[in-house]
Amino acid sequence: MTDNKQKAKANTLWGGRFEGGVSDIMEKINASIDFDKILYRQDIEGSIEHCKMLASKAIISGEDAKAIQDGLRQIEAEIEAGDFNFSAALEDIHMNIEARLTEIIGATAGRLHTARSRNDQVATDFKLWVRDACDQADEALKALQIALIEKAEQHADTIIPGFTHLQSAQPVTFGHHMLAYFEMFSRDRARFADARKRLNECPLGAAALAGTSFPIDRHQTAEALGFDRPTANSMDSVSDRDFALEFMAAASISAVHVSRLAEEMVTWSCAQFKFIEMSDSFTTGSSIMPQKRNPDAAELCRGKAGRIIGSLNSLLITMKGLALTFSKDMQEDKEATFDAVDTYSLIIAAMTGMVEDMTVNKDKMLEATEVGFITATDLADWVVRVIGLPFRNAHHITGSLVSLAEKKGCDLDGLTLAEMQTIEPLITKDIFSVLSVENSVASRVSYGGTAPSEVMKQAALAKERIG
């Protein structure tokens, strides 16, 4: 079909409202087919169920309903086979499908649009698509959580410095560190599940903005499409894009979690740390420095978080000034959402691969705990527990011992008992039992603590929680 014929068909579908052709500039700014064609399955599914409902209510005949449904299935097959000719002159996926349906079955195709508008049609298609995206995100996050649990179990007793302010704070286990990210991604899954539950109301039948005078059954179409119920207000139905915003908000928070783990991987893999090593599958070399192994996959996960956040911000800004109900601005909802979903899916898959792939250098991690007076808190706790002093006093004593060790150029366990007793005479040789990092982590047996025994318990509970 030539462009002129397609433009003429577009005018016919508009109901003869415009006599002239559409300018090339208007066609370009108005068309969304290049990106919204991804909605073809949802559009066809929604149209088939709408058609069935129209027939069940005797709004269209059974014969027409069968012709429409057969035609829609043919179109679906053509698209999936790559034989469908998408036209920018027909603007979007909805009009492209309707135009092709008219070619196949003739004027009967026009009956499909009875009691609906493109406004409720696109809202329904988009909700169905985002609902699928929520389900896919959940499955992807579950795979990442499984990888984290496996690493946690493998390294339940691998000791690594725990940091605050990027300063050595207390020794922890690497397994405990991995389970910290498990918790973050658990909250992410809950956010996607919550967003999915809230979006699961069907806009179909709201028509342009005011509902319809035809005796339709919106509960029938809602149930057939897997929604919990139809939306309760026709104006809100066609103007709501909260579901896309909520998905991108959940994806943005989750992307921040991915970015934080990616940042740690970048740091851990550098020559100054050497805590982990990533294989060639997730690193690249330098064009000029042959010794380099760059953690590009981690860096890109970190960088792409900003892209997802930007997509959320873009749609928030688009929606903030729109009066009820539909405005063409809302066509900007899909590119941002589609890109956010694609980008988010990619970084979750990449992070899952990196967690599975990374090799942990236990010796380097343990060596790093030998600096920074990392068992100072254990010393203060011992003073409280054994000597019976208030923690604030114990904190002061420990600070004085750290100062003494700094002057001597050793760690806390490098001080002699006599040197310690110059600060606090009641200290006994038993204090050395808490100054090893192994004893430190083993002692942290409070629920959710870093002790290897507790890590294994939490890993087992995590397996139960992920479903």
Residues with active-site annotation = 165, 286
DSSP 132-184: HHHHHHHHHHHHHHHHHHHHHHHTTT-EEEEEETTEEEEEEEHHHHHHHHHHH
Asked whether the predicted pLDDT for residue 107 surpasses 60, the reply is yes
Q: What is the mean pLDDT of the chain?
A: 93
Quote the percentage of the chain above a pLDDT of 70.
94
- Whole-number pLDDT of residue 83: 96
Q: How far is CA 345 from CA 2, 305, 320, in A?
A: 38, 11, 27
One-letter amino acid at 201 equals: E
- Whole-number pLDDT of residue 285: 63
What is the band of 26 on the pLDDT scale with cuts at 50, 70, 90? Answer: confident
d(CA 423, CA 433) in angstroms, rounded, equals 18
Helix, strand or coil for residue 455?
helix
Please give the average per-residue pLDDT across 29-42, as a whole number: 92
Please give the average per-residue pLDDT across 407-419, as a whole number: 91
Cis peptide before 325 (omega within 30 of 0): yes
Asked whether the predicted pLDDT for residue 15 surpasses 80, the reply is no
- Whole-number pLDDT of residue 288: 57
For the whole model, what pTM was predicted? 0.90
Asked whether the predicted pLDDT for residue 459 surpasses 90, the reply is yes
Asked whether the predicted pLDDT for residue 6 surpasses 90, the reply is no
**Dihedral angle at the C-alpha atoms of 195, 196, 201, 205, nearest 10 degrees?**
100
d(CA 435, CA 438) in angstroms, rounded, equals 9
Q: Give which of 208, 200, 188 is closest to 116, Cα–Cα.
A: 208
